[in-house]
Structure 1
Amino acid sequence: MKLINSLTPSQEILIPVYREKWREIALSTESINHQKATVAINAAYQIISYLHPRIIFCDSPHRALKQMERGERNKVTNRLDKKLRIELIEELAKQVGGKLRSDVNLIWSQLRPQLWGQLMRQISGEIGLKLGEGIQPELWACNASIFDFYISVLSCSHDEKKWQIYRDLILNCGWFFPFENICYVSARPDILSFDNQQRLHAEGSPAIQFRDGFSIYAHHGVRLPARYGTVHPNQWQAEWLLTEDNAELRRVLIQEIGYVRISQELQAKELDTWQEYTLLKIDNSVNLEPIHLLKMTCPSTGHIHVIRVPPHIGLARAAIRWVNWGINPEDFSVQT
């Protein structure tokens, strides 16, 4: 078999096309067609020599989890993954040179954190789901983007039946949990909301929501508890920092609330002043270490800007010097 070792320019420009094609498929919020999903599931069971299962459709992975018999990675999940995804990987990889595989894998490497890593982390973290308990089409879509490119663009030979079943499962199912005699198939989410960097994000509303109301809140990729996620960031309260133990959530709260509001609402203590600069300290246990803030008030506009400085700094002039990379405030030719 002659290896394919390079791409033509016309082939190379199609890489992002296939990445975006499978991102759109994986992030679909259209309702699944139960009849098509049933056909796809039955074909998958047949290819691993299992009888057609009883299929139960659920409104969310959470609902499926509550109904199914949980366990470690079951043999049906394992066999389907090996028969379809792994065997397609092995079959197609034999026809493509190592460097080219690395180049084309850019499709996979850019999709996987967005489509699978993020969704899996958020959803499974919310409901306590282990990876081995089911199959997530988002993960399979990452591989499908490469399979599709190899097959459609590079004309690699392949098992057409496996590829058809693999595609049909992604196109027609949400998360599904296959057991020997029964298979639970989740609906797709009704809402999927992202920021401009493709991170799960919504303000005051769910970033992921299923038809049964199961929801996940996220702020630029960080999962939020409902007590924060249901409130628009403009209305977040500085006092929440006093009881929040999670460091990542404290970081998000601080970033959105801002040090100006934090210093006002938590009654920061004045340590020192120099001209229009004031060094403040927040005594409350907002963070793992004391928070020292340099407040700068513009003499002409009255605009206030607050920036955090290291907690060992106790004088306003020292804080100004730290902010300005060691330059003494007296050396400023123009103060703003």
Structure 2
Amino acid sequence: MSQTKVKKLTPEQAALIPVYRDKWREIALSPGPINRSKAAETIKAAYAIMGKKPPEIIFCDRPYEAADIIVSQLDNPKSLLRSQLESKLRGELEKKLRSYLRSKLESQLERQLQSQLEHQLYTELQSQLWGPQEEDLTREASNKLSQQFSGTGRKIHWLTLGKQIDNCIQPELLAAYGSLLDFCISVLNLPHSYGRNWIVFQSIVRDCGWIYPYDKVCVVCERPIALSADSNHRLHAEGTPAVQFADGFSIYAYHGVILPEWYGRLHPHQWQSKWVLKEQNAEVRRALIPGITYDRICQELEVRELDSWQEYTLLSIDFADDFDEEGNPKPVYLLKMTCPSTGLIHALRVPPNVRSAKEAIRWVNWGTDPEEFSVQT
């Protein structure tokens, strides 16, 4: 007789899902410096799992400095070991975990665990936190290599360079899978017989920065010495770097949007409304607006009054952060509210199809007509 599969977690087990997600997020995002001795031992153990001899291990202060090393590997793509290392390291772990989950849990519960632990954490770290950082660092690496090749007569093949830069194991993304596996071992009592694969896996996430594995050389990068994120786990800092490495290299970000240094090094209180008119990058412009606040923009920039009702005024502002299908800029509409007792001004953005102050008030208040308000606030 087949064993009855578990359809749902107990309340106590379900309550531990965010605990394990937070645990592995914290492990993955711990700032440096890394313990280079432990990292070196971990790399040697990982190569042994692949059946490879210990490589020459080179440590870099920040990821794009690996560009100085990978230039020598450009003509030998067969030496890239990222796929092989990830396959060997995770292969046994994934095989046993899948077998266990499918034999013990209903498929719906299996998908729920993968979604709430592995997939959710991976998406968060990749798209909201490390994706922007990787993009910035990749750009730095490309610029560095372009400068290095200029005047040498040697041409750089950008597709090959892309493969070289992509030959990178990011421990913080492996942490997403670690959260799922750890939960199954510790909470669901998955038989723990993974041996050195699980030990090496944990050490890579805990003790290493980004890893560029080649046949005979492995480049290991230091972690940032400082990293700051908002409550939604997006890169974010106000007036200071969101990511900073020991040698001073910094990345500035505001709620997940990478900012040029001339914006990022200033606190949003110091940002000027007129910058919104000059900024050409739409994503950066959209980040500047809430940082400056609509309230200040209403007071400091030229706006057009379209309609008013009591202490409410519908405004149109002269800059645009969106475009219609023909590529024409769309105006931005704001509902300005002036407090009768204090004179303080507050502004909210409203949809472009709003044509009157009362209609804007109705939209802000979830369809309630302003005439129905018992007390005006």
Name the TM-score, length of structure 2 as normaliser.
0.77
Is structure 2 residue 110 aligned with structure 1 residue 110?
no
For residue 304 of structure 1, report the CA deviation from its aligned partner.
Answer: 2.1
- Which residue matches 1:63? 65
- Which residue matches 2:110? 101
Question: What is the alpha-carbon distance in structure 2 between the residues aligned to residue 117 and residue 318 of structure 1?
Answer: 36
Deviations 1:213-251 (A, max 9, x none): 222222222222222211111111111111223333222
Aligned letter for 1:147? L
Question: What is the alpha-carbon distance in structure 2 between the residues aligned to residue 10 and residue 331 of structure 1?
Answer: 46
For residue 54 of structure 1, report the CA deviation from its aligned partner.
Answer: 1.0
For residue 142 of structure 1, report the CA deviation from its aligned partner.
Answer: 1.2
- Which residue matches 1:41? 43
For residue 194 of structure 1, report the CA deviation from its aligned partner.
Answer: 1.9
Aligned letter for 1:227? W
Deviations 1:281-319 (A, max 9, x none): 333456531233333333332222333345566655665
Question: What is the alpha-carbon distance in structure 2 between the residues aligned to residue 52 and residue 127 of structure 1?
Answer: 28
Name the TM-score, length of structure 1 as normaliser.
0.86
Structure 1 runs not aligned, ≥5 long:
none
Q: 1:239 to 1:55 in 2, by over 3 A?
A: same
- Which residue matches 1:134? 168
Q: 1:118 to 1:3 in 2, by over 3 A?
A: farther
Kindly report which structure 2 residues correspond to 1:1-336, keeping only aligned pairs within 5 A, or say none.
Answer: 5-6=5-6, 12-69=14-71, 75-97=80-102, 98-105=107-114, 106-128=116-138, 132-153=166-187, 154-285=189-320, 288-311=329-352, 316=357, 334-336=375-377
| SS of residue paired to 1:150 | helix
Question: What is the alpha-carbon distance in structure 2 between the residues aligned to residue 51 and residue 286 of structure 1?
Answer: 55
User: Larger deviation: 250-259 or 68-77?
Assistant: 68-77
Deviations 1:34-93 (A, max 9, x none): 111111111111221222111110111122234323767964111001001233112221
Structure 2 runs not aligned, ≥5 long:
140-161, 323-328
For residue 109 of structure 1, report the CA deviation from its aligned partner.
Answer: 2.8
Question: What is the alpha-carbon distance in structure 2 between the residues aligned to residue 226 and residue 53 of structure 1?
Answer: 38
Q: 1:335 to 1:61 in 2, by over 3 A?
A: same
Q: Is the contact made by 1:151 and 1:157 (CA closer than 8 Å) also made in structure 2?
A: yes
Q: Is the contact made by 2:334 and 2:348 (CA closer than 8 Å) also made in structure 1?
A: yes
Q: 1:334 to 1:50 in 2, by over 3 A?
A: closer
Number of aligned residues = 335
For residue 138 of structure 1, report the CA deviation from its aligned partner.
Answer: 0.8
Question: What is the alpha-carbon distance in structure 1 between the residues aligned to residue 24 and residue 120 of structure 2?
Answer: 12
Q: Is the contact made by 1:32 and 1:172 (CA closer than 8 Å) also made in structure 2?
A: yes
For residue 100 of structure 1, report the CA deviation from its aligned partner.
Answer: 4.2
For residue 119 of structure 1, report the CA deviation from its aligned partner.
Answer: 3.4
For residue 276 of structure 1, report the CA deviation from its aligned partner.
Answer: 3.9
Q: 1:158 to 1:4 in 2, by over 3 A?
A: farther
* Root mean square deviation, CA, Å: 3.1
Aligned letter for 1:101? E
User: Larger deviation: 86-95 or 64-73?
Assistant: 64-73
Question: What is the alpha-carbon distance in structure 1 between the residues aligned to residue 332 and residue 376 of structure 2?
Answer: 25
Aligned letter for 2:294? Y
User: Larger deviation: 80-89 or 281-290?
Assistant: 281-290
Q: 1:101 to 1:316 in 2, by over 3 A?
A: closer
